[in-house]
Amino acid sequence: MMRALAVDPATQSSRIVDLPVPEAKPGQILVEVKVAGINEMDVEVRAGGWAAQVNRFRREGPVLTGFEFAGVARTSGTHIRAGQRVMGYSPVLNGPRVHAQFAAVPESGLLAISESLSDESAAALCVMGLTAVEVLERLCPLAPAQSCLVIGAAGGFGAYAVQLAASRGVNVTAVASAANESWVRAQGAHQFRPYEAGRAVSPGDAFDLLIDTPARLSFRAAAPFLSRSGMYVSSNPTSDLAGLARSRFSSRRAGFLMMLKTSPSRLARLVDLAGDGTLRAAIDSVFDIAEADKAFDRFATRGKQGRVLLRI
C-alpha cells in the first residue's frame, strides 16, 4: 500500500488515503515520488472544476491531484533504468496523478537527472519551466532589444518567463505585488509595475509579447498595447476563444499557456537551461504531504514568490 493525497471538492479539503501501489503497464515506469508541484489545475479540481477528470477519478477511486514530480524509477523501460533519479510530467487530461508515494507514468514524460539537480528544483522547474520554454522558444521567440510584459511575474511561470526573456536580451517589464519588486527584479526584470497601481498596461505600450498569467485581459483588450506583430498569451484557453479566432485576421496574434504533455527532448532542453544558469528554480515553499491543506492555502496566497511544492 502507499500514501496518496485525496481531495474532496465538496469541502475543498484534502486527506491522506491508503491505496494499492500501481502496476506499471507497457510503456509506463513505476516512480517513487519524492517531491511534486501544486498547479492551478490541482486547485481547480479540489474546488470541483475539471468535471471530466474528477468524474474519471471518482470512477477509479478517490479524487487525486498532481502531475509534475521528481523521484526515483523503480522499474526499467526503454531509456529509463530502475534506480535512476527522474523528473517528469504526467499527461494533464488522462494521466495518473502524482501526489502519492508511487505513480505509474508514461516513460515518454520522464527524463533521468543527475545529482546536480535536486528533487525540489526538478519538481519546481518542470511544468512551469517547460511552459516558459515553449512560449519563448517556439510560440513567440524574441530577439535582443524586443520587449515583453509579464503579468504575474512573481508566480511559478512568471518567474521563469522573466528569467528566460531577460537571458535573451529582451527588455522585460514585470507586473506583480509591490512587495515582490526586489525579488522580481532579481529574476531579471528591467521595469516593474505594481498590481496596486491598478493598470498592467499604459498608453504608449507596444510590447512584442504580452504574457497574461492571471488571464485578466483579452486579445481585444491587449491588442492596442502590442507591437504590429506582437503576441498576447493568456493562461486560460477557454476564456477568449473569440480573441484567438479574431487574431487570425490580424497582424497581431494570440496564444495560450497550455502544456498537456511533454517529451524527453523537451525535458532535456529544460535541464540544459537549468544547468547553464539560464533558468533557476523559483521555490516559494515546501510542505509535507500531510500539510497539503496548508500548501493549497499558500498557493492561493497573493504575493508568493515562485512554486509551492509537496514533499511526498
Give tens-digit pLDDT for 169-206. 999 999 999 999 999 999 999 999 999 888 899 999 99
Domains and CATH numbers, the chain: 2-118+281-311 (3.90.180.10), 127-256 (3.40.50.720)
**DSSP assigned state of 53:** H
Tens of pLDDT along 281-293? Answer: 999 999 999 999 9
Give the number of C-alpha atoms closer than 13 A to the C-alpha of residue 217, restricted to the C-beta side: 28
Compute, in degrees rounded to 10, the torsion defined by CA atoms 211, 133, 119, 289.
Answer: 40
Predicted confidence at residue 239, as pLDDT, reads 66
**Cell 496574434 sits at which residue?**
253
Mean pLDDT, rounded, for 213-242: 86
Name 12's Cβ contacts closer than 8 Å, sequence gap at least 6.
46, 47, 48
Task: State the alpha helices, DSSP H only, in the chain.
Answer: 40-46, 51-60, 119-133, 156-167, 181-187, 219-222, 241-247, 264-275, 292-299
Name the nearest CA neighbour of 249 among 211, 225, 223, 215: 223
Q: Report the candidate in 19, 65, 22 with the shortest Cα–Cα distance to residue 44.
A: 65
Residue 49 has pLDDT above 80, yes or no: no
Query: Strand, coil or helix: what is 28?
Result: strand
How far from the centroid of its chain's Cα atoms is residue 209's Cα?
A: 19
Q: Residue 105 corresponds to which amino acid?
A: V
Distance CA 279, CA 284 (A): 16
What are the pLDDT digits (tens) for 114-151? 999 999 999 999 999 999 999 999 999 999 999 999 99
How many whole angstroms separate alpha carbon 106 and alpha carbon 186? 36
Q: Which helix (H) or strand (E) holds 256?
A: strand 253-256
Tell whether the model's pLDDT for residue 90 goes beyond 70.
yes
The pLDDT value given to residue 199: 86
Instruction: Dump strand ranges (E) for 47-101.
Output: 68-73, 85-89
Mean pLDDT score, 4-20: 92
pTM of the model: 0.93
Decide if 302 contacts 176 (C-beta within 8 A): no
